[in-house]
């Protein structure tokens, strides 16, 4: 039985809190803390089991340490933004509690994420006898476990992995992002990058495309982008030759994005407006729909999976392992659209596997470094069924 402290009361944090509250035999207490207490209150009012809430600025290590001690947390689930990863990890070291997040650290002033800054904490976490589990959402998270599962149970050797992320859903806004707009737009406007035979190859943002027939959705165009799990998979999947990440975008989304970029609204450097510093992308975020509010009326499905090429007994095989999630069903169950649902459920399961000792180790780890079996077994039980099938 553990006390879990969830930081961040956005779309992902709401799902993590809802799902943690479903397993009182694992999480004896659930505390949800965020910068805006009203958002915590709103989420609490939707959850049947009583949970505690608190206000915290997660950029401030002292505030975090005081909160962890006040609520006697055993584990922190970081559902805030990538900017807070390092301050929360520092607070874990100061208080001796375990850590889990769904997105890797990124400095505010540079749209560049990499695991190095968090991997550098490995020996300090080991010495403190605590665990950090990085990137335990869907992608990264379940996609990493899919690769570990294929490596353990399906293939003798893996040659190449294409992670394919399709949101086939339709919401009622002309332009909205499915998770935090600032983080999403920083990600998709960055140069694309993929791994080939030991080298990283960079391409212009969203310039490479192909089509893929997504089960449950149909044929969609996908575009290549750099995604954080490529970095850890390149390190942890032995001898993998090729790693790429692909995502679907609607024409509406791409048109809006192009215009916003052309007029400078996606810039992350401050400009002076009427004597005040304004970061255009942060201003844009304030105007865009809150992704946590997209769920109502959202129709359609997501399909996220790994298309894996490898060898079995010397024969070349192709295998697709994926989940399909329905926006409306996710909303009915957890008041969230599918992108938040598919992120929050694995975060809760990861927290559960750490709290029960099944996954617990000392140091800093990515999901594919742990035994995938317990996660793969629990995913369908908590709403994320998966399918693995060979393709011609
Ligand atoms: P939201 O913007 O909806 O939620 C973020 C929450 O964090 C908000 O409640 C925000 O508070 C809070 N927060 C921000 N800064 C602070 C701070 N300094 N102190 C305390 N709280 C703070 O984002 P999402 O829920 O859409 O995304 C959350 C995370 O999940 C992101 O890092 C995103 O990259 C990641 N993600 C991971 C995925 C995966 O599959 N691995 C997929 C989708 C998202 P406030 O309301 O006051 O702004």
Decide: 91 in ligand 1 pocket, CB within 6 A.
no
> How many residues belong to the chain?
392
Question: Average pLDDT in the 124-138 region?
Answer: 98
Question: Average pLDDT in the 353-379 region?
Answer: 98
Decide: 137 in ligand 1 pocket, CB within 6 A.
yes
pLDDT computed for residue 192 by the predictor? 96
Q: How far is the CA of 335 from the centre of ligand 1 (A)?
A: 16
Domains of the chain in sequence order: 2-137+341-380 (3.40.50.720), 142-336+387-391 (3.30.360.10)
Decide: 295 in ligand 1 pocket, CB within 6 A.
no
Decide: 14 in ligand 1 pocket, CB within 6 A.
no
Q: How far is the CA of 247 from the centre of ligand 1 (A)?
A: 20
**Residue of minimum CA distance from atom 3 in ligand 1:** 10
Q: How far is the CA of 104 from the centre of ligand 1 (A)?
A: 12
Mean pLDDT for the chain? 96
pLDDT computed for residue 112 by the predictor? 84
Ligand 1 mutation pick, 80, 227, 366, max ligand atoms within 8 A of CB? 80
pLDDT computed for residue 392 by the predictor? 77
pLDDT computed for residue 226 by the predictor? 96
Q: How far is the CA of 34 from the centre of ligand 1 (A)?
A: 9
pLDDT band at 123 (very low <50, low <70, confident <90, very high): very high
Q: How many CB atoms lie within 10 A of CB 273?
A: 10
Tell me the pLDDT tens digit for each residue of 279-301. Answer: 999 999 999 999 999 999 999 99
pTM: 0.97
pLDDT computed for residue 10 by the predictor? 96
Per-residue pLDDT at 110 exceeds 90: no
Per-residue pLDDT at 379 exceeds 90: yes
**Residue of minimum CA distance from atom 23 in ligand 1:** 180
Per-residue pLDDT at 1 exceeds 80: no
Question: Average pLDDT in the 210-226 region?
Answer: 97
Q: How far is the CA of 183 from the centre of ligand 1 (A)?
A: 9
Tell me the pLDDT tens digit for each residue of 139-152. Answer: 999 999 999 999 99
Decide: 143 in ligand 1 pocket, CB within 6 A.
no
pLDDT computed for residue 322 by the predictor? 98
Decide: 232 in ligand 1 pocket, CB within 6 A.
no
Atom of ligand 1 nearest to the CA of 187: 34
Atom of ligand 1 nearest to the CA of 56: 20
Ligand 1 mutation pick, 81, 281, 349, max ligand atoms within 8 A of CB? 81
Tell me the pLDDT tens digit for each residue of 58-103. Answer: 999 999 999 999 999 999 999 999 999 999 999 999 999 999 999 9
């Amino acid at each position: 039985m553990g006390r879990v402290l969830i930081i961040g009361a956005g779309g992902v944090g709401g799902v993590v809190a809802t799902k943690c509250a479903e397993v009182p035999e694992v999480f004896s207490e659930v505390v949800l803390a965020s910068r805006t207490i009203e958002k915590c209150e709103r989420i609490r009012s939707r959850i049947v089991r009583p949970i505690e809430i608190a206000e915290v600025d997660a950029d401030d290590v002292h505030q975090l340490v005081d909160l962890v001690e006040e609520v006697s947390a055993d584990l922190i689930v970081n559902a805030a933004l990538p900017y807070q990863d390092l301050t929360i990890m520092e607070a874990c070291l100061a208080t001796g509690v375990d850590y889990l997040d769904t997105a890797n650290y990124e400095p505010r002033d540079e749209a560049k994420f990499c695991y190095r800054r968090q991997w550098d904490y490995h020996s300090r976490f080991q010495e403190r006898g605590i665990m950090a589990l990085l990137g335990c959402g869907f992608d990264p998270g379940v996609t990493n476990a899919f690769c570990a599962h294929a490596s353990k149970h399906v293939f003798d050797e893996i040659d190449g992995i294409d992670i394919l992320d399709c949101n086939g859903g339709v919401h009622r806004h002309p332009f909205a992002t499915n998770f935090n707009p600032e983080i999403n737009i920083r990600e998709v406007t960055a140069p694309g990058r993929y791994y080939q035979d030991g080298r990283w190859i960079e391409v212009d943002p969203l310039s490479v495309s192909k089509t893929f027939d997504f089960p449950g959705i149909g044929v969609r165009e996908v575009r290549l982008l750099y995604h954080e799990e490529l970095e850890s998979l390149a390190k942890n999947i032995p001898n993998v030759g090729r790693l790429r990440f692909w995502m679907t975008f609607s024409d509406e989304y791409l048109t809006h994005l192009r215009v916003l970029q052309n007029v400078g609204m996606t810039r992350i450097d401050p400009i002076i407006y009427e004597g005040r510093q304004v970061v255009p992308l942060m201003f844009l975020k304030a105007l865009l729909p809150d992704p946590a509010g997209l769920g109502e009326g959202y129709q359609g499905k997501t399909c996220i999976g790994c298309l894996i090429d490898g060898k079995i007994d010397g024969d070349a095989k192709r295998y697709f392992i994926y989940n399909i999630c329905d926006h409306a069903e996710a909303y009915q169950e957890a008041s969230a659209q599918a992108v938040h649902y598919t992120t929050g459920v694995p975060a809760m399961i990861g927290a559960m596997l750490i709290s029960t000792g099944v996954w617990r180790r000392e140091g800093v780890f990515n999901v594919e470094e742990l035994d995938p079996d317990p996660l793969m077994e629990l995913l369908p039980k908590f709403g994320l069924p998966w399918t693995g099938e060979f393709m011609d």
